[in-house]
Amino acid sequence: MKPTSFLPTLVVATGLLLYAGPALAQMAEGLDTADMAPAEPAAASAEKKPEAAPAAAAEPRQIGPSRYVTAEELPAYVRQLSARFSIAKSATDPFGRYQDPNFVAPEPKLPKAGPTNNFKAAPPMPFADVVAGITVNGVMPGKQQFLIGSRVFRANDIFPLRLPNGKQMNVKVVSVSAARIRFRNVTTNETADRTVNLLPDGMKKGTGHIAAPGIEPVDSQAPVEIQPSIPLSDN
């Protein structure tokens, strides 16, 4: 195969480039690149106009059903409705904490120390009151005995008494009579009498002249009638 010469091809390519050079230059001159430069912002050359503030939400005329509130009235509706809440006027929340995060509670004031109250022991119960509280259910003065419930006590017996404050006191039976029983405090040798009144409730001992209703009293000065032992003759 006969090799192709490179020289003719090079001559043709050079001619094409020389022919196309003026055309390309004319084409580049015809292009207007002024519009391609970045234009200066209008705000930089002219005075900056204040931006229009967003239209304020229309205040609802009155608080009505929420389903009638439009999207524009919703923020004002919520503010107007929440202003009526009582919590807005309260210093504390439902849990008792202050709503103001910067609130500092005042320091508590300690009460002044008052005079010390000294404990005073209750005075001891008088022995006469102790004996008066003994319940006597029966008296047998001939045997020098008496009954407290079903228990029998005799003269010279010593037995304990329990006081209302829980303490105990030992007493001795000195004497027993139909009218009273005498006791002695073993610790202090103090004596006291327990008056005996064994009449049923509502009855009392009689004094003076006693007469049953409907019975005439007997005349102490009236003569005594004599009944003869021998029958008298009717003649």
**Secondary structure of 171-217 as H, E, C letters:** EEEEEECCCEEEEEECCCCCEEEEECCCCCCCCCCCCCCCCCCCCCC
Cβ pair 219, 204 in contact under 8 A: no
User: Is 202 inside a domain boundary?
Assistant: no
Largest CA distance in the chain: 228
pTM: 0.39
Tokens of 65: 């059903």
Domain encompassing residue 152: 127-195
What single letter denotes the amino acid at residue 75? P
Q: Residue 51: pLDDT band by 50, 70, 90 thresholds? A: low
Q: Which of 18-22, 32-36, 121-125, 207-211 has the highest mean pLDDT?
A: 121-125
Percent of the chain whose pLDDT exceeds 70: 64
In a domain, 211, yes or no: no
pLDDT in tens, 221-231: 777 777 777 66
Q: How far apart are CA 160 and CA 44, in angstroms?
A: 117
Q: Is residue 54 part of a domain?
A: no
CA distances to 147, 155, 179, 197 from 142, rounded to whole Å, are 14, 11, 12, 17
Distance CA 163, CA 185 (A): 13
CATH number assigned to the domain comprising residue 148? 2.30.30
Q: What is the mean pLDDT of residues 54-79?
A: 71
In angstroms, the CA 137 to CA 139 distance is: 7
* SS3 of residue 126 by DSSP: coil
Residues 6+ apart with CB under 8 A from 212: none
State mean pLDDT over 166-173. Answer: 92
Structural domain contains residue 22: no
State the DSSP code for 26. Answer: H
Q: Is residue 147 part of a domain?
A: yes
Q: Is residue 39 part of a domain?
A: no
Report yes or no on 71 lying in a domain.
no
Asked if residue 152 is part of any domain, the answer here is yes
CA distance 198 to 179: 9
The confidence score (pLDDT) of residue 187 equals 92
Q: What are phi and psi of 7, to 5 degrees?
A: -65, -45
Mean pLDDT of the region 149-166: 91
CA-to-CA separations, 172 to 117, 132, 138, 145, in angstroms, rounded: 39, 15, 18, 13
**Which range is most confident: 39-53, 88-102, 193-207, 215-229?**
88-102
- The candidate with the shortest Cα–Cα distance to 63, out of 39, 82, 44, is 82
Nearest to 183 by CA among 152, 154, 149, 142: 154
The confidence score (pLDDT) of residue 57 equals: 47
In the chain, the number of structural domains is 1
Average pLDDT of the chain, as a whole number: 75
pLDDT digits (tens, 9 = 90+) for 4-48: 555 566 655 666 655 555 555 555 455 555 555 555 544 444 455
